[in-house]
Structures are given as structure tokens and as C-alpha cells.
Amino acid sequence: MLGSIRDLAPIIAVIVFFQLVIIQQPLPNVLELLVGVLFVLLGLTFFIHGLEQGLFPIGETMAHAFAKKGSVFWLLVFAFALGFGTTVAEPALIAVAAEAAEVAASGNMIAADEAAKASYASGLRFTVALSVGLAIVLGVFRILKGWPIQYLIIGGYVLVVILTLFAPVEIIGIAYDSGGVTTSTITVPLVTALGVGLASSIKGRNPMIDGFGLIALASLTPMMFVMVYGMVML
Amino acid sequence: MNLLTILTNLAQTMLSTVTDVIPIAVIIFGFQFAVIRQPVPNIGKVLTGFVWVVVGLTFFLVGLERALFPLGKLMAQQLTDPVFIAGGEALNAVKQAITLSWQDYGWVYLFAFLIGFSTTIAEPSLIAVAIKANQVSGGAIGIWGLRISVALGVAIGISLGCYRIVVGDPIHWYIIAGYVVVVIQTLFAPKLIIPLAYDSGGVTTSTVTVPLVAALGLGLAETVPGRSPLIDGFGLIAFASLFPMMSVMAYAQLSQWYAQRKRPEAAQS
């Protein structure tokens, strides 16, 4: 609880400072604001507690169980399901996909009616979810093999740059953003625990070097896939 | 504000959080029972943990929605308003007649910097990764060291992103230049930090940061003459994902350099 207060203090300070000193207007709805801040505090405290009790342990036990079972096939299926399943339901992605459909419609790239926009947006969501699923599969495979992450990431960057040259201008901003929005609050702890758990239960892998990096891949592949989607659809 | 609306608000958010968690729970327990076929150790504790996560996220989101987001959006609007930027004396001038150069947006950049920094400090995903990194590195990577360097990266990224919206440069030159810097840094950064630094790019932008930053970007793109919110409003999140990679590697490089510089001194005394 004390920790949560310390986490939130900067936000409050910035808002109060700007509102009173720069914009020089009184804070609207002070009471509502206080209740909201109290909720955020409680929420952060409960979330961190639950993280350490539930999400971290289950992620690691599953990683250990898969490593012991030795079935690479099922591990990769699990990795894909986790990436795809959590991304397709991600609220931030749903919001970005809807915005992207607006952009495409206003640029006369797709028909401006609701049906065309909806199908464009859901196509985009499935594209991103597919790319995150594949990214987690690739990342888990990398942990098994012990490849250094930087070659994958740099290779990915080169692809992103090449695709940028060919993708329609309207999709580029959205494609770049969709890399950032794919990994949600519940997915991140689970995926991190999975990676670290795997790396620490396989001989010869260092959890620090090999365990991290799954999220980085999950942020990179959506950029490529969305640009390709933009090129194919538009 | 009354109790009833808060309660319905809480109930709705709880429902949508549960819907978000259901696919994850189905995948986890499906694989646990069908493939691994072993009981989960401390199943009771894990399930209570899930309940805490859902309850925590619910309160967190409702609190954000009721208090911080509306205020953040309002402030983004007020700060990007040409009338505010040009100062009180321009109030009488016709809005279209005000010509602003990028220097006039100083407060916007400062606001972007501070809001980027402070929202990242409160970001639950980053806290999770920092706790894990601290455990795995045996304390070598401090929770606060990581969180502050990521937050600095986001802060710099978002203020630069705002500058880009104001001047209207194409986004890909910035991103590509950023990639080049990341690649160069990768060659020199301590090996241990590289995967973590790459991950920090992805974790920074979620629950807290995305809505506030998106509001800022759209607000700017709407009010700066000649910018289209649909094309120029995007891209801030990409900046916020790129810069933490650099700042985390820079943090590791600095602490390595500092440790190397200190060692000979310690040996002498």
C-alpha cells in the first residue's frame, strides 16, 4: 500500500502542478478525483499481491512442467495459444484496430460503410494476434536453442525498415503503434514468468540472458504483420 | 457522483476484466489438465492470486477512468489549445491568424515529459518485470534503477514524439534512426542487460500510459494547423516503446562504467 502511494505520487504531482501553476484553473470535481485516486491505489496494491501469489507461480510451474515433460511440440502449441489468445481479446488492440479502420476509410482505401470497417478492423486484430502467437513461439524456440536475442531483433528491425519503404503511408504510424499495445497487463507477467521459468529449468541457459526477450519479439512482429496486412488489403 | 454509479461502474469493469482473463485461464488450465496432467502446486493460493489480480485491475481501471483519464485529457486539450499557447493577449486575434512555431509548445513538451515519466512509474506491467528481473539477477538489477531508467526513456520518447507532431516530420525517419542507435548500443552494452532492455520497450505502454498518451497525441494533431489526427496522432506509443530500450542500455553502460572507474580507486585506498 505504501509502495502504491509512492508509485502514484508523481502522477498526482504533475497533474496538480500543471493545473494550478501553468493552466491556472481550479481542479474540477475534487471529491470524484480523490475517490478515483483511492481506487487506483487499492487496485495497484491488490494487483501486485495477486501477481506474486498467482500469475508468477503458475507461469513458472508450467514452464518447469513443460521442461520436465520434454515435449517441445506441446510447449510450442502452448506458446502460440497464449500469445494468440491473450492478444485477440486485448482491449487496447480493439481500440487501435477501430481507429485504423477509420483511417483506412477516410483515405478511401476501403469502403466507408460500417461493414467494411468492421471486417477491416477484425482482420487487423487477427493479424496482430497471429503475429504475437508466432512471436512467442519463436521466442520460446530461441530459449530452447539458446540463440542470442540481438540477431533476431536486429534482423526484425531490418525487415521493418524494408517493409516501411513499401507500406502505404497511412498504415505506418498504426503499424508502429500496434507493436506497443499488444502486451497487456496480465500477459506480461505470465509471459515473463514462462520465459524465466523455462530458461532456469533448462541446463546451460541463463535466466537473465535467455529468460527475457519474449515481450520484445511480441512487440516487433506486429509491426511487420500490420504493414504486410496494409499492403495486401489496400 | 453517487454510490450507485460507482458500484455499477465497478461491476461492469469487473465483468470485462473477467472476460479478459477467461481465455488466459482456459489456455493455462486446459494445458495443465490435458497436456501436463499434473496437479498445480498450491492451487488454492494461485486461484486466490487470480482473484486478487482481477479485483486489483478492476479498482485500478475504475479509478483511472473516473479520475485520471478525464483530467489528463482535459489538460492535454487545454495545453495544446492555440489560445493558451499564444498567451492571453492573442485571445482577441482570429484563431487562424495565430502562427505558432515549434518553440511555442514548450509547456507541451514539458507536460509530455512529466506525464510520460510519472505514468510509467505507476505502470503495473513494468513493476512485474522489474520484480522478476530483480529476483533473477540476484539483486544486481535494482527495481527502482530499472523503473526510473525506463520512465526516463518513455518521457524523452513522448516529448520527442510531440515535437514530431508539431513540426510534422514523417515518423519512420525517427524510428529508423532510433533502431540504428539501439543496434549500436547493443554492440557495447553489457550482455546481461540486452534481453531485458529489449523487453522494457514492450512493457511500458499498457494500461496507464496508452490512453493518456493517445489523448495527448490526438489533442496535438487536432489543434496544430496542417496536422491530421488520423495520420499524425499515431506514433507516440511507438516512440514510448523505442526509447526505453536505449535508456535501459544506457543505464547499464553507465553503471558498468562507474563500477570500472571506482574499482582502481578502491584498490588504491
Note the pLDDT tens digit of each residue in B245-257: 999 999 988 888 8
- Would the pLDDT of A213 be above 70? yes
pLDDT at A90: 76
Stretch 47-76 of chain B: residues touching chain A, C-beta under 8 Å = 47-68, 71-72, 74-75
Percent of chain B scoring above 90 in pLDDT: 23
B contacts of A160 (beta carbons < 8 Å): 175, 179
Instruction: Enter the DSSP assignment of B87.
Output: -
Average pLDDT over residues B186-197: 92
Average pLDDT over residues A174-189: 79
Q: Quick: pLDDT tens for B72-94.
A: 777 777 777 766 766 555 444 44
pLDDT at B232: 76
Q: Which residue has the higher pLDDT, A100 or A220?
A: A220
* Residue indicated by cell numbers 503511408: A169
pLDDT class of B97 with cuts at 50, 70, 90: very low
B contacts of A29 (beta carbons < 8 Å): 1
CA atoms within 13 A on the CB side of A175: 29
Angle formed by the axes of helices A72-88 and A56-69, to 10°? 150
Percent of chain B scoring above 70 in pLDDT: 88
pLDDT at B71: 77
Residue B158 sits at the chain A interface (C-beta within 8 Å): no
| Minimal CA separation from B100 to chain A, in Å | 19
Percent of chain A scoring above 90 in pLDDT: 31
Count the neighbouring beta carbons within 10 Å of the beta carbon of residue A100.
Answer: 27
Sign of CA dihedral B72, B74, B76, B78: negative
Average pLDDT over residues B219-233: 76
- Would the pLDDT of B125 be above 60? yes
Residue B25 sits at the chain A interface (C-beta within 8 Å): no
Q: Quick: pLDDT tens for B194-225.
A: 999 999 988 876 667 777 787 788 777 777 77
pLDDT at B157: 93
Q: Quick: pLDDT tens for B24-67.
A: 888 888 888 888 888 877 888 889 998 998 999 899 888 888 87
C-alpha span between B139 and B121 (Å, rounded): 19
A contacts of B210 (beta carbons < 8 Å): 92, 180-181
Label residue A29 left, alpha or beta by phi (over 0 means left) and psi (-120 to 50 means alpha). left
Query: Which of the residue ranges A215-229, B85-99, B131-145, B218-232 would you say has the lowest mean pLDDT?
Result: B85-99
Query: Which of the residue ranges B13-22, B118-127, B146-155, B238-247 would you say has the lowest mean pLDDT?
Result: B13-22
B contacts of A164 (beta carbons < 8 Å): 172, 175-176
pTM exceeds 0.80, yes or no:
yes
pLDDT at A131: 94
Could you please report the per-residue DSSP string of A170-199?
HHHHHHHHHHHHSS-TTHHHHHHHHHHHHH
ipTM of predicted complex: 0.84
- Would the pLDDT of B10 be above 70? yes
Query: Do A58 and B63 count as a contact with CB atoms less than 8 A apart?
Result: no
| A110 contacts A233 by C-beta, under 8 angstroms | yes
Stretch 86-105 of chain B: residues touching chain A, C-beta under 8 Å = none
pLDDT at B99: 59
Residue B251 sits at the chain A interface (C-beta within 8 Å): no
A contacts of B157 (beta carbons < 8 Å): none
Interface test with A, best of B109, B237, B239, B248 (most A CBs within 10 A): B237
Q: Which residue has the higher pLDDT, B129 or B71?
A: B129
pLDDT at B94: 45
Report chain A's mean pLDDT, rounded to a whole number: 86
| A205 contacts A199 by C-beta, under 8 angstroms | yes
pLDDT at B266: 58
A contacts of B26 (beta carbons < 8 Å): 85
- Would the pLDDT of A21 be above 80? no
| Minimal CA separation from A188 to chain B, in Å | 6
pLDDT at B245: 93
Residue of B nearest to A168 (CA): B231
pLDDT at A140: 94
Of B75, B107, B137, the CB nearest to A208: B137
Average pLDDT over residues A36-61: 89
pLDDT at B132: 92
Q: Which residues contact A47 (CB under 8 A, 6 or more apart)?
A: A185, B52, B53, B56, B57, B60, B124
Query: Do B128 and A188 count as a contact with CB atoms less than 8 A apart?
Result: yes
C-alpha span between B85 and B20 (Å, rounded): 41
pLDDT at A155: 93
Interface test with B, best of A55, A99, A158, A176 (most B CBs within 10 A): A176
C-alpha span between B187 and B243 (Å, rounded): 17
| Minimal CA separation from B268 to chain A, in Å | 33
For B146-162, give one letter per residue: b (16+ CB within 10 A) or e: bbbbbbbbbbbbbbbbb
pLDDT at A1: 67
Interface test with B, best of A1, A5, A6, A15 (most B CBs within 10 A): A15
Report chain B's mean pLDDT, rounded to a whole number: 82
Query: Do A37 and B55 count as a contact with CB atoms less than 8 A apart?
Result: no
pLDDT at B96: 46
- Would the pLDDT of B108 be above 90? no
- Would the pLDDT of B267 be above 70? no
Of B179, B203, B238, the CB nearest to A177: B238
Of B23, B196, B234, the CB nearest to A85: B23
CA distances from A64 to A51, A197, B269 (A): 18, 6, 47
- Would the pLDDT of B98 be above 80? no
Query: Do B53 and A196 count as a contact with CB atoms less than 8 A apart?
Result: no
A contacts of B52 (beta carbons < 8 Å): 46-47, 49-50, 53-54
Of A46, A172, A215, the CB nearest to B171: A172
